[in-house]
Amino acid sequence: MKKIINLLKEKNELKIIDEELDIYLEIPHIAYIEVKKDDSKAILFTNPIDKKSGKKFDIPVLMNIFGSLSRVKLLIGDSNEIAKDIEKLLHLKPPAGFGAKIDMFKTLFSLKNVFPKRLNKKGQSQEVIKLNENINLYDFPHLTTWHLDGGPFITMGQIYTESLDGEMKNLGMYRLQIYNERELGLHWQIHKDSNHFFHEYKKAGKKMPVSIAIGGDPLYTWCGQAPLPIGVFELMLYGFIKNSPAKLVKSITNEIYIPEDVDIVIEGFVDTDKLKIEGPFGDHTGYYTLEEEYPVLEVSAITHKKNPIYLATVVGKPPLEDKYMGYSTGRIFLPLLKTTAPNLIDYYMPENGVFHNLILAKIKTLYPAHAKQIMHAFWGVGQMSFVKHAIFVGEDAPKLTDADAISEYILNRISVDKLLITEGVCDALDHSSPKACEGGKIGIDCTGDKVELGIEILSDSELLEMAKELNSNITDLKQYKTNTKNPIIIIKVNKTESQKETFESLKILDRYIKILIIVDENKNDLNNAYMLLWRVVNNIDAKRDIFIHNSFIGIDATNKNEFDNFDREWPNDVDCNQEVLKNLSKKGLIDINEAFIKKFQL
């Protein structure tokens, strides 16, 4: 971490704040604002305090290290080059001549560095060892990010686990709630490897060993969120990228091996018969995930360097640090995804689509329904199975990251007969589907030619007046992309009924409307397309919320309630504490105005 801090300083990528700042809201709010700026930097908070207890920490907090593409490249490497190296391995062929044999030998020989190396000594991470009565999780500056959070959380922990027989190792990145001095909650979701291991230990009636690391080489943390196939230890990816094996040491009180140079290690055991309420937590969806029971780690040891650095992140409404981590992940794992979908050219998960909620994919189509075939392939493999909304375009499409150009390409090709609505598994953080962890999905095939029929265009005011006459709940309206065959019309409503009724009331306007999106009156700005996309893909379940009449498509992106027979609890938006923002502004620690607040819906 100290090497990283010096590197960030050298590259003018670090901001240092020496003022005393509270681990409750203040530090994370500053980081949340910073990462949304075009010229954002990593931040080192040198004097974190806990105002509630009066405690001062001598452990600095480092945030936003992955908060730009330049920093990701600095800390991880060139994701496109890494992808090329992976692609070479996937396409190794028998060498034709002596030179080719030498090249292959070099490639294969370098793979020895993929496998982590175990050391027979203590690591830098074990310079200080705390056992028994000396264990206290509150000795570290764990942050409370949002005022509705259930407490302080570790947000960039590396969670090391292994299967009951010790054959499979896993490194994951999950949030961890601090309950008290010696217990923390493990938010490993139902689909994660750690959860599968948990059930092995539970069936055997044994406690499960877990070790949690913070800090060290940032690549450890990044590898923790990498979507590797089940059974592949994430630290093998570390060795592949570094061309040097991760060096591991055994934890002090359990059999888990962790990197020897991390800053802080929390060791312990999970009693598989014990669950505890975890949350709420303002998550990367931009909504709070609600209270639910999760396993509890009973801490048996805490070890750390003599002068550790505490690494943390902040999640909430986009754009945030996960934007840049996710982009590099997408680049690196494109070759692996191509093994499942060979005619895939490229894919992109916009951060305001909250990754699993929206994917754009460019493919080479060879026959009818090819796009639909690849949709099924996506929904059947690894973490892609969580994707709720997938849009497929042809090889002639513009760059997937060019929002204006690609949206026009898509809107010129949408037709009802090209929609595939189905259902399957959903991410555990999804809040909009009727059931937890399963719900509707939609795939849209936009690989063909432009559609022929367009619509008659009216002004926003004319169309709004006509819509209000048909439905008095409608309060505002805006049209997007009226130069395309399928303009998007977004309306605001005061919700007093099922939005299927709203759709039915507006069917008569189908000569003026092809795609209708309905949002709530509250908390939506019809001029903010970026945040509207975030809201829409978060709030819909394709099987329940998409209505079709001839060529007219309606989408209900309102918050769901009894009008929708929705009996789950609907979560709150993740919003900044306005008093904290005011105080930080007065101190000159953040520089924001009303336009900034409105743009990012703080």
Render pLDDT for 178-232 as a digit per residue (tens, 0 to 9): 999 999 999 987 767 778 888 999 999 999 999 999 999 999 999 998 888 787 8
Per-residue pLDDT at 105 = 47
Q: Where in the chain is the domain with CATH 3.40.1670.10?
A: 321-446, 460-564
Per-residue pLDDT at 104 = 44
Per-residue pLDDT at 380 = 82
What CATH number belongs to 2-312?
2.30.110.10
Nearest to 470 by CA among 415, 410, 510, 419: 510
Residues in contact with 3: Cβ distance below 8 Å, sequence separation at least 6, in sequence order: none
To which H or E segment does residue 186 belong? strand 183-186
CB 103 within 8 A of CB 92: no
At 270-302, the pLDDT tens digits run 999 999 999 999 999 999 998 999 999 999 999
Per-residue pLDDT at 96 = 58
Q: Dig out the tokens for 268 from the structure.
A: 């312990």
Nearest to 436 by CA among 571, 297, 554: 571
Q: State whether residue 500 is helix, strand or coil.
A: helix
Q: Dig out the tokens for 1 from the structure.
A: 């971490």
Per-residue pLDDT at 18 = 97
- Residue 147 neighbours by CB distance under 10 Å: 13
Q: pLDDT-based confidence at 575, cuts 50/70/90?
A: very high
Nearest to 282 by CA among 313, 305, 310, 303: 313
What CATH number belongs to 321-446?
3.40.1670.10
**pLDDT at residue 412 greater than cutoff 50:** yes
Alpha helix positions (H), 260-357: 321-340
Strand arrangement, sheet containing 389-393 = 344-348, 359-363, 389-393, 438-446, 419-425
Per-residue pLDDT at 595 = 95
Rounded CA Rg of the chain: 25
**pLDDT at residue 110 greater than cutoff 70:** no
- For the segment 68-80, the average pLDDT, to the nearest whole number, is 92
Per-residue pLDDT at 183 = 97
Mean pLDDT of the chain: 92
**pLDDT at residue 149 greater than cutoff 60:** yes
- Range 460-564 classified under CATH 3.40.1670.10: yes
> Distance (Å, rounded) from C-alpha 268 to C-alpha 211?
6
- Distance of CA 194 to CAs 188, 198, 209, 211, 273, Å? 7, 6, 11, 12, 16
Q: Where in the chain is the domain with CATH 2.30.110.10?
A: 2-312
> Distance (Å, rounded) from C-alpha 422 to C-alpha 564?
19
**pLDDT at residue 102 greater than cutoff 70:** no
